[in-house]
Each structure stands twice: as C-alpha cells, then as structure tokens.
Amino acid sequence: MSEPLVQIKGLKKYFTMETDLLGRPTAVLKAVDDVSFDIYKGEAFGLVGESGCGKTTIGKMLVNLYTPTSGSILFNGTDLTKLSDTKRREYCRDIQLIFQDPYASLNPRMTIGDIIAEPIRINKLMPSNEVEGRVNYLLNCVGLANHHRNRYPHEFSGGQRQRVGIARALAVQPKLIVCDEPVSALDVSIQAQVLNLLDDLKEEFGLTYLFIAHGLNVVKHISDRVGVMYLGKLMEIADKKELYQNPLNPYTQALLSAIPVTDVTHKKERIILKGDVPSPINPGQGCRFASRCFKEFEGCDKICPELSDVGGGHCVACRLYDKGQIKKDA
Amino acid sequence: MQNELDAVVNEQASEVVLEKPESQLKEMWFSLIANKGAVAGLVIILLLTLVAVFGRFIMPYDPNYSDMTISFQSPSAAHWFGTDQLGRDIFSRIIDGTHISLTVGISAVALSLTIGTILGAIAGYRGGKIDTVIMRIMDMMLAIPSILLAIAFMAALGKGIDKAVIAIGLVCIPEYARIVRGCILSVKENDYVQAARVVGNKDFRIVFKHILPNVLSSIVVRATLGISSAVLDTAALGFLGLGVQPPFAEWGDMLGRARGFIFSAPYTLIFPGIAITITVLAFNLLGDGLRDALDPKSRKI
C-alpha cells in the first residue's frame, strides 16, 4: 500500500445547540466524535452511514468549510488545523469538493464557463489567454461540449450540472476530491454514468477520492476501502472485499443485509434493527449503537469501544472483538 | 423506429443547444413592459427626467422672478398654474423643482444604499458579535421616527440641498442594511456559496460576486420604492422649512409657504401637491412592476 495522503487523527466536531444565559453550552451535538483514519494516495475511500452520522461534516472539515473542534488533519504530512487562515486556504486548494445537490451547487447567475474558469483565475494558475482552452479541455473531460460554456446552469439537467460541478473541482488540479454523495440526487440511469466518469477521471488525473455515500451499493462500485460511520463514530474500516464478505460490526452486518438482492431465488436473511437512530445531542458514554444492537451484551451502554485492528487492516470498533473479551454469542 | 425517434430527439436537442441563450436581463425587461403600471411609471419617470434636465428650456418664465403686481393670479393662458404670493409663475417653479426633487431623491437613496449594503453585508456574512452590534444600532435608528431623525440631522448639519441629501440618506440606512442582511442570510448557506469558498475565493469576492448578484432583485425593488419615500421626505423637510432654501423652488417648500392661502388661492398648493403625488406614484408603480418582474415565482412562463 502506498503512503497515506490524508491522516485524520482524533477528529472532533461539536455543534453547540443551546446555551444558558451566560453562554455556556447546555446541549452539544457531537457530529463527529473522535474519528481517525487514513486515506492512501490513489485510492477511493468510501465513507458510509445513514443521514446525520457526520460523514458530510468530515468532508466539509477537509475542505475548510468547518473548523474542527479538536483533532488533526494531516494532508501530505502538514497539519491543516494548525495553519493560519491564508496558509490553510492555500493548502486546501488541493482538496476539492463535489456537492450532493447539483441544483444548488452552481451559481445561477454565472455561465458554465465562468463557473469552471473562476477557480483558475482567482488562484492565478495560468495566464488569462490560456484559461479558455483549459475550460474547453475540462468540459470535454467530463463529457460536455465547448459550446456549453456560454450557457447558464438552469439550462442543464441534473447529470449535466453534476458534470459541471466535477469540472469545477478538477479546475485547480487537486490531489484529493471529496465526493459528497455525488450521485444520490441523480436518476439511477445517470448515477452509473457519473460514477463511471469519476472512475475514469481518477485514473486520468491520478486523483484520490473520499467518497461519501449513504448506501453500500454505490460505494461498492467505486471504493477500494470502506469506512462505516454511525452517529459520529467510525464503526468499521476494511478493504471493500473484506467488508462485504466478512462484516464484523453488527451495524455493518445490518447495513449489508439491507442491500436489495436482484436474485429472487437467493434468500437472504435481513437484519431488522429496532427503534430509531438516537439523537446525537448529548449521547451517552457507551457504544453509540448499543441501544439498537442485536448483539448487545452487558456493559455495551457504558464502555465505548475503540477502533482496533483485527488483522489485515480490518479495523472494527466493537467489544465483541476486544482482546480478552469472550465471544458470547457471536 | 426507436432509433429514428432517438435521432429526431437528438437533433432537436442539439438545435436547442445551438440557440443563443436568452439573457436574464432581456427576460426581465419583457416581463416588466408587460406590466401596464410599471410602463406608466417608467414613462412618467422618463418624462420627469427630461423635464429635470431640459427644464430651463421649456419654462415660460424665470422661476425666481418676482412681480408683486401679478401675485395670486388664477391659472390662465399666460400663467398655466397661476402665480404665487410673490407673483412668480408656479408652472416654471414646478419645472425647476423637478430637478431638485429627483436629484435629492436619487442621491439620498444612492448614499443610503451604499452604506446600508456594506453594513448589511458585513452583518449578514460575518454574523456573531459584529452582526449583533450593527443590527442593534440599526434598530435604534429605526426606533426614532425617520422624519424626526432627519430633522435632528438637519439641525446638526445646517440647511441646504447637500445637507438634505445626507440627512435623508443617513435616515434610510437601516432599511437597506436590514434587507441586505436578510437576503445574505438566505443565500449564504447555499451550496454554491460554499463551493465558491472551497475553490479559494476571498470573502469580499464571495459577497460581491456570488451572493449579492443573487439577491440584487429585492435590493433594486427596495431602492426604487425608496426613491419615492426619499422624494416625499425631501418635500416634508421643505414643508417644515428645513430643506432646500429660497429662492430655489422646491415642491415641499412651495407647499409650506403657500399653506396660509389654501382657501383664498388653492392653486398655489394644488399643483406642487400634484407634482409630488405623480412623482411618488411613478416610482411606486415602477418598484411594484420591478418586483413582479424580478421575482421568478410570479413570472409567467
């Protein structure tokens, strides 16, 4: 495995929801709570979890839209959280974001050409007479034509808009692209096209992806390794194959069992979780999943399991696999 | 068959693509001129502007020339709107006053719009403590009746046309600051604003290039309506004897000085009053029309 491009260590992001009269927080939303993982050069790291589990928050911290509460983000060995604002802006140029909703992510008052040219112009990446050629090149890369340059976003379909979003992200020649559910707002037929495009661009430009999604089937297509999140915590990280064949964390098992199967003769046992996702505001001490876990045993609601390697880069945060822990019903 | 159909569809699609995109300005213009009231307002404003610029060539008399032997003449062929207490031709004075009313109205709005936009943009974009401080000061200004505040400013600054502009301009700042702040808050969290930050835009550019163009419509509407209230405020200050000083003809001042003769010589009041009403009405009509034209939700497809 190559060297890590991004190393996230103990990353936390808390949002203060309510304060008392003196401004002291009384309700804290722990969107991301002590998350650590690495993204290696040239890989696509998938991050899955249900809505509100903090995966987008991690993405936005990477691109400097949110400031972490604590923890560090090492990008190419530089800790982004310790840099000054101007320096950080410079470093963060190498990390770009593709947004979830292509209808909201393009400025309706700017032409497609301006949208793609803007990152090049403001960062002064090339002389102004070369910008147009570069924009045309980028448009062609994402499967759009040169004459689309003078048109406005409202004249395009969702899939085309997402292509524009991808071209904008590519414009600054980034090293890492955070794809924040880039296909979940698109039609299923378009999803495959955009996913294939992302796959091709990764090869062509030597990109690294942090691919955020809420379903394992999309991630299965594009990722090399997958991290599973639940309520601000990482539950499991493994190679894609390993994760799909041998899920260790009960949450991952439940998630995998929910993928629809096209083969009618094949009967799969589905794990139905009871209850709803608990509120991320002031969560308890123990495992976040304890209240819904079908393998919960004594102490799970008191002790928070650490993410630990069980061999071959397969990390899991569950007390079932703790060293010295007797596997009771696994 | 299916392939043929696809080919036809594709052909049509490519034709559509080749068509030149209609600019938003053009679209707006067509939607504006479809509105009768807005067109009426626009025509009146154009006429008023022409009168303001070329007024000196069409006024039959010197607006400041006083001939006491012909004071209080009823409207006639010689004096269309009659003459006032000093024997000056009211028609000529109203034409002369157009220039002052429009200048004061538009420059006061320009002043308050500039300062208000900057303050509102800072408050809305930065948020937090700066927002609280700016907006509380604006609230304090709004708590005082605007004309009272304008009088206070006039008292501090002294009399004159430039001072009137400053006084009215300062009084109107909170309105624009509030509206700009509100607009910015509503677009600030949009993905495209975040996208602008991700690609490396500076805050200043984000506000002026990505946020303000998208909220311009409501600001333009507010500013157009604001001109009418600025014209009205100028007249009110003139009426109170604080605005433009004699011998300059100013509609409010003409009203104020003639109010003693409302029963004996009503035409000395009626015509300046009508001038104010028409001007205010024209800007209101245009403002309403602009609002309809710029708001895509009410726009006809």
Both A288 and A191 in a single domain? yes
Do residues B198 and A97 make contact, with C-beta atoms less than 8 angstroms apart?
Answer: yes
State how far Cα A18 lies from the chain centre.
27
Nearest to B234 by CA among B179, B275, B174, B288: B275
CB-nearest to B21 from A105, A109, A150 is A150
pLDDT per position as a tens digit, A214-223? 777 788 888 9
Longest dimension (CA), chain B: 95
CA distances from A1 to A5, A198, A244 (A): 12, 22, 20
Nearest to A162 by CA among A143, A146, A149: A143
Both A89 and A112 in a single domain? no
Is the CB of residue B163 less than 8 Å away from at least one CB of chain A?
Answer: no
Whether residue A122 and residue B200 make contact (CB cut-off 8 A), yes or no, is yes
Q: What is the mean pLDDT of chain A?
A: 86
Comparing B118 with A268, the larger pLDDT belongs to B118
| pLDDT at position B188 over 70 | yes
Both A240 and A142 in a single domain? no
Q: Which of A169, A198, A214 is the last residue of a domain?
A: A169
Whether residue B191 and residue A101 make contact (CB cut-off 8 A), yes or no, is yes
Both A255 and A282 in a single domain? yes
Q: Please list the residues that pair with A235 across neighbouring strands.
A: none
The count of structural domains within chain B is 1
Both A40 and A134 in a single domain? no
Decide if A50 is inside a domain. yes
A72 lies in which domain range? 4-94+174-321
| pLDDT at position B61 over 90 | no
Q: What tokens appear for B185 in the block?
A: 């808050």
- Here the contacts of B85-91 (C-beta below 8 Å, separation 24 or greater) are B85/B257, B85/B258, B85/B261, B85/B265, B85/B268, B88/B61, B88/B63, B88/B64, B89/B59, B89/B60, B89/B61, B89/B63, B89/B65, B90/B254, B90/B267, B90/B268, B90/B271, B90/B272, B91/B59, B91/B60, B91/B61, B91/B271
Do residues A128 and A120 make contact, with C-beta atoms less than 8 angstroms apart?
Answer: no
Q: Please list the residues that pair with A38 across neighbouring strands.
A: A7
Q: What is the dihedral of CA B121, B125, B127, B132, to 10 degrees?
A: 0
Do residues A117 and A109 make contact, with C-beta atoms less than 8 angstroms apart?
Answer: no
What confidence score (pLDDT) does residue A328 get?
A: 43
| pLDDT at position B300 over 60 | no
What confidence score (pLDDT) does residue B295 get?
A: 67
φ, ψ of residue A228 to 5 degrees: the values are -110, 125
Decide if A264 is inside a domain. yes
Model confidence band, residue B5 (pLDDT cutoffs 50, 70, 90): very low
Q: What tokens appear for B21 in the block?
A: 């995109």
Full-model pTM = 0.80
Query: What CATH number should be reported for the domain holding residue A194?
Result: 3.40.50.300
What confidence score (pLDDT) does residue B22 get?
A: 54
pLDDT per position as a tens digit, A174-186? 999 999 988 888 8
Is the CB of residue B198 less than 8 Å away from at least one CB of chain A?
Answer: yes
> Between A and B, how many residue pairs show a Cβ–Cβ distance under 8 A?
70
- Between CA A159 and CA A144 the distance in angstroms is 11
Decide if B156 is inside a domain. yes
Both A260 and A117 in a single domain? no
Do residues B229 and B171 make contact, with C-beta atoms less than 8 angstroms apart?
Answer: no
Q: What is this model's ipTM? A: 0.84
B143 lies in which domain range? 22-294
What confidence score (pLDDT) does residue B294 get?
A: 76
Decide if B15 is inside a domain. no
Is the CB of residue B128 less than 8 Å away from at least one CB of chain A?
Answer: no
Q: What is the dihedral of CA A210, A14, A82, A59, to 10 degrees?
A: 10
Both A216 and A72 in a single domain? yes
Smallest CA–CA distance, residue A304 to chain B, in Å, is 34
Do residues B119 and B138 make contact, with C-beta atoms less than 8 angstroms apart?
Answer: yes
Segments of chain A with pLDDT less than 50: 326-330
What confidence score (pLDDT) does residue A1 get?
A: 55
Both A203 and A131 in a single domain? no
pLDDT per position as a tens digit, B91-106? 999 998 898 889 999 9
- Residue with structure tokens 């390697």? A309
The count of structural domains within chain A is 2
Is the CB of residue B245 less than 8 Å away from at least one CB of chain A?
Answer: no
Both A229 and A302 in a single domain? yes
Among B24, B192, B214, B299, the residue to mutate for chain A (most A Cβ within 10 A): B192
Whether residue A118 and residue B213 make contact (CB cut-off 8 A), yes or no, is no
Both A61 and A197 in a single domain? yes
What confidence score (pLDDT) does residue B296 get?
A: 58
Contacts of B24 in chain A (CB under 8 A): 109, 152
Query: What CATH number should be reported for the domain holding residue B152?
Result: 1.10.3720.10
Decide if B72 is inside a domain. yes
- Between CA B87 and CA B61 the distance in angstroms is 11
Both A81 and A188 in a single domain? yes
Both A77 and A162 in a single domain? no
Whether residue B192 and residue A106 make contact (CB cut-off 8 A), yes or no, is yes
Decide if A43 is inside a domain. yes
CA distances from B152 to B158, B171, B226 (A): 10, 10, 20
Decide if A203 is inside a domain. yes
Do residues B201 and A122 make contact, with C-beta atoms less than 8 angstroms apart?
Answer: yes
CB-nearest to B214 from A109, A118, A119 is A109
- For the sheet containing A225-230, what is the strand order? A95-98, A176-180, A208-213, A44-48, A225-230, A233-239, A315-316, A308-309
| pLDDT at position B158 over 90 | no
